[in-house]
Amino acid sequence: MQLESITYAQFEGQPEEWSITAFSFDRINLIVGKNATGKSRTLNVIGGLGNLVSGDTKLKFISGNYKVIFDKGGEKLTYFLKYENSKIIKEELVIDSHDKLVRGPGGGGEIYAVKEGKPMKFQASPSELACVNRRDNVQHPFFEDLYKWGKNLRHYRFAGELGHNSYAVFKKEEESLNLKETYKTVAIFKRGQKEYPEKFVNNIKTDMAKIGFSLDGITLGTPRSLTLQDVLEQPQGIIVEESDLKGKTDQVDMSQGMFRALSLIIQLNYSLLASVPSCILIDDIGEGLDYERSSALIKVLIDKSKKSSVQLIMSTNDRFVMNNVPLEYWSIMQRFPSESKIYNYRNSRKQFEDFELTGLNNFDFFTSDYVVLDTPKDE
């Protein structure tokens, strides 16, 4: 199931109001925009929705109003969720033109029951999502698609540490692993080694070589350049053997850019092998990498997405990244009072195609007035 479009608003009618309207997506997407236009905020909105519909987080937010359309092999799922003061005032699920869930203020509503072949009344807490609490493969199987989309969504903040300073002490009993905890790179690597002993590490080495980091080996071990005092067991970290170096390199000694790339490649390869993520969000892709390596990383990500059912949504304001990603994948974000507007091939095709005829590079499109339009409308 693929995210087709999202409309979102919060604090409507108040000074803090912010919204995005009918942001449409393809399989591969790059959100570009200047600082403070809403790129990271948009990815947070998508990631936050995924956590809500999967039950990974409770409704703790003050205000939000979602209209989200998904495409499932031609079938349209439209999900509405509106809440104020952390209380749901609207929750609906429509599949094609059929109402499956209709709910208003107070927590009550109707939900379609498959066995009875008709909608049934129900009452639930206004602070809890019905699509989570009423999941039932027999009576309400239509909630499973929402749940799986949210459960398998991955959100990576490439400008963050991605586990650079996080180590692990492993117990004899294997602990549960939440792949949404993107700082647990060491634990994810260990699990991948165990479950896919050859394929997992080989895939990582192949991908790292493609982005300019040639590795003869990747393993776990006690850090050679770091000692922690007053601990019963020394923690485990990632150690690599770089092809052009004689010694081994601890994760703490890797550059931020190299470790971010390695962490992302580790987590992405495990997710693809283990659970086939529905959607991958990557904020500030390429941050900390030079032009050649950031370009190569983007190519690896796009190629992997094309070979799977994954939907890829990235963001950047890096001119080198922009110049390396075809305009067909672009969504340009501009900030207006209380609203972020999106311009892409779906709503501004003529402007994109006209610019491609100029022969200028992609970054010139970003800095030009080609995309300063009226409010975009869907074709």
Instruction: For residues 277-288, give the mean pLDDT.
Output: 92
The pLDDT value recorded for residue 232 is: 59
Backbone angles phi, psi at 119, to 5 degrees: -75, 145
What are the Cα distances from residue 310, in Å, to 37, 154, 305?
A: 26, 10, 5
Q: What is the pLDDT of residues 149-193, one digit of tens each?
A: 999 999 999 999 999 988 888 876 677 888 899 999 999 999 999
Q: Output phi, psi for 364, to 5 deg.
A: -65, -35
Per-residue pLDDT tens digits for 342-370: 999 888 888 888 887 787 778 777 777 66
Counting runs of H as helices and runs of E as strands, what totals does the chain give?
10, 17
Higher-confidence residue of 376 and 311: namely: 311
Give the residue with greater pLDDT, 315 vs 359.
Answer: 315
Residue 226 has pLDDT above 70, yes or no: no
pTM of the model: 0.91
Where b means 16+ CB within 10 Å and e means fewer, 142-163 reads bbebbebbbbbbbbbbbebebb
Cα radius of gyration (the chain): 22
Across the range 67-82, mean pLDDT stands at 96
Instruction: Return the pLDDT at 70.
Output: 97
Domain boundary assignment for the chain: 55-145, 165-276
CA distance 125 to 110: 14
Q: Which two tokens stand for residue 147?
A: 């749940």
